[in-house]
């Protein structure tokens, strides 16, 4: 059944508390089983949406979590995520950084390690998108910004984290359905998400002998603050209706895919793999 949302919009990068229809992103009702007991995770883009749900789920499973986010507008979202983590009895830390800057990527890894006492799990989840109606509309500046945030940051953050990741550590990358099949209005975004998949495959091979597993999650449409912050109201109101399930996912529905890859008890034989929670769509290959 198609889920029609009220039209809404807000300034980029968006805030959960400003949404008329907030997403389900706090993993309410989930009972942890200690799958990540004693682990320490850094989640970029962890203030809201998928990042918040993943951060809280990891905490419920016993991990201490540091998050990174972009803008002052998101301060309250970041504070809320940290409060949810601490409510589970876990340590939380939040850092405001623009990860389009390689120095910020290196800095946030150092800050997270200092705050948590080490690092076992890196979740590269930060993303930027801005739909266009044609290739001509896609500016050089936007192309570069999208790549700097969506793929360059993954490289720089991962490279900085390697000094702290030992055997049994995990790197998780957020890809997208758009990286699997493209999108006519998200040309640059889709290109970066395809690059995320190739980076995941390559890192899984190069880090295998170090005992570090690398996997990716490639969701379909997910209701997060990024949607009303980057799409017009008509697109927002019908967002996700193209999926076979007729609706966008809630972040809480996507986060367990990350837990599956993060927990060695469930996925110790997985590296270089992609989970694609895409609402019933089937893809060849």
Residues with catalytic roles:
189
Position of tokens 């998108």? 129
Residues sharing a CB contact under 8 Å with residue 70, sequence separation 6 or more, in sequence order: 13, 45, 96, 97, 98, 99, 126
Pairing state between β 213-217 and 274-275:
parallel
Number of residues written out for the chain: 285
Residues sharing a CB contact under 8 Å with residue 130, sequence separation 6 or more, in sequence order: 12, 142, 146, 189, 230
25-49 in b/e burial notation, b at 16+ Cβ within 10 A? bbbeebebeebbeebbbbbbbbbbb
For residues 218 and 227, what is the distance between their CA atoms, to the nearest angstrom? 17
Q: Rounded to 5 degrees, what are φ and ψ at 120?
A: -120, -25
For residues 85 and 65, what is the distance between their CA atoms, to the nearest angstrom? 7
For residues 47 and 14, what is the distance between their CA atoms, to the nearest angstrom? 11
Q: Rounded to 5 degrees, what are φ and ψ at 172?
A: -120, 130
């Amino acid at each position: 059944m198609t889920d029609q949302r009220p039209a809404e919009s807000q300034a980029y990068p968006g805030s959960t508390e400003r949404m008329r229809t907030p997403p389900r992103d706090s993993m309410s009702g989930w009972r942890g089983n200690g799958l990540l007991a004693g682990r320490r995770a850094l989640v970029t883009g962890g203030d809201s949406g998928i990042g918040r749900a993943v951060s809280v789920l990891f905490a419920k499973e016993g991990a201490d979590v540091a998050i990174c986010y972009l803008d002052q507008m998101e301060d309250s979202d970041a504070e809320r995520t940290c409060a949810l983590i601490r409510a589970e009895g876990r340590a939380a830390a939040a850092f405001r950084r623009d990860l389009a800057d390689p120095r910020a990527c290196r800095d946030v890894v150092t800050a997270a390690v200092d705050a948590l006492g080490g690092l076992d799990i890196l979740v590269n989840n930060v993303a930027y998108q801005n739909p266009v109606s044609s290739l001509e509309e896609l500016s050089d500046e936007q192309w570069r910004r999208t790549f700097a945030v969506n793929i360059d940051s993954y490289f720089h953050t991962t490279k900085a984290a390697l000094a702290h990741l030992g055997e049994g550590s995990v790197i998780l990358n957020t890809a997208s359905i758009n990286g699997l099949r493209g999108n006519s209005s998200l040309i640059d975004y889709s290109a970066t998400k395809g690059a995320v998949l190739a980076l995941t495959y390559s890192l899984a091979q190069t880090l295998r002998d170090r005992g570090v597993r690398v996997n990716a999650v490639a969701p379909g449409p997910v209701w997060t603050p990024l949607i009303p912050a980057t799409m017009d109201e008509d697109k927002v109101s019908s967002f996700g209706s193209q999926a076979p399930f007729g609706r966008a996912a809630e972040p809480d529905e996507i986060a367990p895919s990350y837990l599956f890859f993060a927990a060695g008890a469930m996925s110790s034989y997985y590296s270089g793999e992609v989970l694609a929670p895409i609402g019933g769509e089937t893809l060849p290959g």
